[in-house]
Chain A
């Protein structure tokens, strides 16, 4: 589906192009005498390589409708795992962007500043995955934050705690699926920043709860072993589902 998204997009672009140029093609039969080759296709499309400067970016406006079909995370390879991370980072970035734009009135200056910091960290993660995945990336997810009261500091902190602790458990649980060293290191480079966020947010709620493993057992933490949460993608997505409108399909998990 990752690639299908791409194809729907390409198809849309091609169709637009074909429609635009159809009238300029005098006779279809002449253009396609036998097996359609690249040259013939381009002729049919009425464009030279230079003229057909149609980029995927130029078709961006077609992305939103595509997402009504949902997004598919195919865990058959590393790109499924990276798209999974991309989905979670989209969720976090959207949340912090909303908080940073209009922070709760009772937030301290330090809290406002650090929520802005975290906002940019999550945007950086989101955009990193988007750029790294390129055409293999899933589209933009539609979020649902109706359960969060953005004018209430406690509600915002509680949501931030949920997102960060869940994010940590997600990366911890997904690492073992990665087959490429470089991706594994990148995931590690991100998860520790999420854990720093989680600890700070927790301390805002209750100082000293930065690493309260008893409170994290539902996310897979092991108190006796001093181990943080770790969850499989299905459990993480289930926990995150109330914040995501876009239907997410999971295959090959």
Chain B
């Protein structure tokens, strides 16, 4: 930014700026005191443009709506893992894999209980295992008989959860509930990171703990076409109108740029994904 532009901006909030900086008046101290007034005026365009960025969350949701939406997703995740551990005990190998899935299941149960408790009488109708179809109408027909398919769906669920919470954050802005939601959100991200490593150890060679660019730069880095909607826009490299690739002359590659920021999903996008796994009569 040219210093004259800065001075022009200062002049808008302090018409005497040029007088203040006159060396005749020993005015440099005044100059410093002006500082507070111009912090907003001197902001670069990049920040201003943030205000104009549309995030697709055009319909403001009430806090309860958001929490019930989150509760639905937590029911989905909890029943998915719980069924695997309880009903198909040989699906997830004993030892570290079973330990990890158990840890994740327990967190999802804790999230369900927490959200239910927070919502009280406003909580949505409870969802039970039978309300779900984790084969997604046969797309993942072997989800409870083939460990790798199970891991694929699990990874997709966690990556979806991370993106879903992110998209709902503005509806909770400034509310103490936001902190709780963020605390759930980052736990889901930890789950996703670990599940991706589990998937990488079971055939998905090179799949990273963080969402990277897919082959040829596509948004889905898992190579599982059926979960494309989960990874929509994850190849984005522009944040708040700022191109992250090679930002400020750094060696940040396009892949690193895509990896370094997770993307959000709109509520409508999440509903579409969740409905694939909900039986008729229970769809959102």
| Residues in A lying within 8 Å of B, measured CB to CB | 2-4, 6-8, 10-11, 13-14, 18, 28, 32, 35-38, 40-41, 44, 49, 52-56, 77, 79, 114, 117, 120-125, 127-128, 130-136, 168, 171-173, 175-176, 178-186, 188-200, 203, 207-208, 210-211, 213, 220-230
A181 touches B186 (CB 8 A): no
B191 touches A211 (CB 8 A): yes
A226 touches B252 (CB 8 A): no
Name the residue on A nearest B118 (C-beta).
Answer: A225
Stretch at the interface among B34-42, B83-91, B123-131, B215-223: B34-42
- The one of B1, B2, B182 in contact with A172, judged by C-beta atoms closer than 8 angstroms, is B182
A3 touches B46 (CB 8 A): no
B6 touches A189 (CB 8 A): no
> At the interface, yes or no: B267 with Cβ under 8 Å from chain A?
no
B242 touches A128 (CB 8 A): yes
A49 touches B4 (CB 8 A): yes
Measured in the bound complex, the distance between the Cα atoms of B1 and A243 in whole Å is 32
Residues of chain B within 8 A (CB-CB) of A207 are: 96
Measured in the bound complex, the distance between the Cα atoms of B44 and A134 in whole Å is 6
Question: Known contacts A132-B240, A184-B169: does B21 contact A226 (CB below 8 Å)?
Answer: no
Question: What are the 5 tightest A-B residue pairs by CB atom distance, in nearest-first order?
Answer: A134-B44, A226-B110, A195-B189, A199-B193, A227-B183
B22 touches A226 (CB 8 A): no
Residues of chain A within 8 A (CB-CB) of B170 are: 181, 184-185
Stretch at the interface among B49-57, B136-144, B270-278: B49-57
Interface size class of B (residues with CB under 8 A): 35 or more
Name the residue on B nearest A55 (C-beta).
Answer: B2
Task: Work out how many contacts link A and B, with CB atoms closer than 8 A.
Answer: 294
Name the residue on A nearest B46 (C-beta).
Answer: A132
Residues of chain A within 8 A (CB-CB) of B197 are: 200, 203
Measured in the bound complex, the distance between the Cα atoms of B102 and A210 in whole Å is 13
Residues of chain A within 8 A (CB-CB) of B186 are: 168, 171-172, 191-192, 194-195, 228
| Residues in B lying within 8 Å of A, measured CB to CB | 1-4, 6-7, 11, 16, 18-19, 21-24, 28, 31-32, 34-36, 38-39, 42-44, 46-47, 50-51, 53, 55, 57, 96, 99-100, 103-104, 106-111, 113-114, 162, 165-167, 169-170, 173-176, 178-180, 182-194, 197, 208-210, 239-240, 242, 244, 247-248, 250-253, 256-257, 259-264
Q: How far is the CB of B104 from chain A (nearest CB, A)?
A: 8
Residues of chain B within 8 A (CB-CB) of A193 are: 189, 210, 259-262
Question: Known contacts A36-B19, A120-B252, A190-B261: does B51 contact A180 (CB below 8 Å)?
Answer: yes
A186 touches B240 (CB 8 A): yes
Measured in the bound complex, the distance between the Cα atoms of B42 and A88 in whole Å is 23
B3 touches A189 (CB 8 A): no
Residues of chain B within 8 A (CB-CB) of A171 are: 182, 186
- The one of B3, B39, B248 in contact with A13, judged by C-beta atoms closer than 8 angstroms, is B3
Residue of A3, A175, A181, A195 with most chain B CB atoms under a 10 A cut-off? A195
A188 touches B22 (CB 8 A): no
Measured in the bound complex, the distance between the Cα atoms of B11 and A7 in whole Å is 14
B179 touches A56 (CB 8 A): no
Residues of chain B within 8 A (CB-CB) of A134 are: 1, 42-44, 46-47
Question: Known contacts A3-B39, A173-B179: does B50 contact A182 (CB below 8 Å)?
Answer: yes
